[in-house]
Amino acid sequence: MSNPQHIVILTGAGISAESGIQTFRDAGGLWEGHAVEQVATPEGFAADPVLVHRFYNLRRAALRDVKPNAAHIALGELQAEFGGRVTLVTQNVDDLHERGGSKDVIHMHGELLSAFCTACDHHWRQAEDLTVETPCPACQTRGGPRPDIVWFGEMPYEMDRIEYALQSCDLFVSIGTSGAVYPAAGFVQLAHVHGARTLELNLEPSQGSAFFSETRHGPATRLVPEWVAPLL
Ligand code: OAD
């Protein structure tokens, strides 16, 4: 089969698992011991902002102890060296794609290293802890800043750009995601109806496996470099 011209890649928690970041559903629906409603909803933040800030401060600090793995690095090489276009979309809030060499990453569920102000909507890079006392660097409101994470019930980022890419790509590849959370879980069908080939690389069959034209099962650190090598 000839090389694709435009590849859209969707990654999920499974690509960062071998770097030591816990996945969601494999951990029994808890995120580092917390119910999703407590730490990943606007209601949870309104109910206990101190707990939610502490939770994301720990996740942000944990990034310092992890490194990109062979799968992130292979995708960085693909984005830099592939002859056609590569649109990389991640549901992950870590920065391992960037540290693996990817220069253009769409973080549809937000980023741990970003914050925004609920008072003035200013967004900024946040590498240090956030607290209920942190003033917004733009409008100075205390209590305005929150983690720049797309919580349940909120709209993922850059959906227009992602949908346009899915409609115009000729290969869609899903890596390390359970296919349990929409809209990302529906990307395979959108790409398929617009004529793209679809490939799943996951540790095991996912909820969405049946929608893919091809599936390969195994750890991302093996499957991703094996898939990328012949394309370069
Ligand atoms: P999940 O935890 O739902 O799924 C992780 C997937 O990765 C599973 O299908 C695993 O089989 C697979 N996996 C685990 N280890 C792997 C490895 N070494 N190599 C390859 N695959 C592996 O994580 P996501 O699908 O990313 O949302 O979850 C989607 C969203 O749900 C997340 O972005 C998060 C969560 O709620 C928000 O934070 C908004």
Task: Say whether pLDDT at 27 is over 80.
Answer: no
Q: pLDDT band for 26, please (50, 70, 90 cuts).
A: low
Please work out whether the CB of residue 181 comes within 6 Å of at least one atom of ligand 1.
yes
In order, the DSSP letters of 193-217 are HTT-EEEEEESS--TTGGG-SEEEE
Domain with CATH 3.30.1600.10 in the chain: 23-65+110-149
Tell me which CATH code domain 23-65+110-149 carries. 3.30.1600.10
Closest ligand 1 atom, CA of 12? 26
Class of CATH domain 1-21+68-109+157-232? alpha beta
Task: Say whether pLDDT at 20 is over 60.
Answer: yes
pLDDT of residue 32: 72
- Measured between its terminal Cα atoms, the distance across the chain in Å is 15
Tell me which residue of 232, 231, 230, 179 sits closest to 202, measured CA to CA. Answer: 179
Planar angle of CA 13, 18, 20, nearest 5 degrees: 80
Closest ligand 1 atom, CA of 152? 39
CA–CA gap between residue 94 and residue 111 (Å, rounded) = 6
CA–CA gap between residue 68 and residue 130 (Å, rounded) = 25
Tell me which residue of 22, 17, 41 sits closest to 32, measured CA to CA. Answer: 22
CA–CA gap between residue 123 and residue 100 (Å, rounded) = 24
The answer for 158, left when phi > 0, alpha when psi is -120 to 50, beta otherwise, is: left
The answer for 205, left when phi > 0, alpha when psi is -120 to 50, beta otherwise, is: beta
Task: Say whether pLDDT at 22 is over 90.
Answer: no
Name the CA radius of gyration of the chain, rounded: 18
CA–CA gap between residue 201 and residue 49 (Å, rounded) = 37
Residue at 204: amino acid letter? E
Task: Say whether pLDDT at 29 is over 90.
Answer: no
Q: Which residues are known catalytic residues?
A: 109
**74 token code pair:** 């292979």
Mean pLDDT computed over every residue of the chain:
94
Task: Say whether pLDDT at 35 is over 90.
Answer: no
Please work out whether the CB of residue 154 comes within 6 Å of at least one atom of ligand 1.
no
CA distances (Å), 55 to each of 106, 145, 173, in order?
23, 15, 31
Measured by CA distance, the residue closest to atom 2 of ligand 1 is 24
196 Cα distance to chain centroid: 21
Task: Say whether pLDDT at 159 is over 80.
Answer: yes
pTM, two decimal places:
0.96
Domain with CATH 3.40.50.1220 in the chain: 1-21+68-109+157-232
Please work out whether the CB of residue 204 comes within 6 Å of at least one atom of ligand 1.
yes
Q: Quick: pLDDT tens for 106-147.
A: 999 999 999 999 999 999 999 999 999 999 999 999 999 999
Q: pLDDT band for 1, please (50, 70, 90 cuts).
A: low
Lowest-confidence segment of 32-41, 44-53, 160-169, 179-188 by average pLDDT: 32-41
CA distances (Å), 153 to each of 21, 122, 178, in order?
24, 21, 19
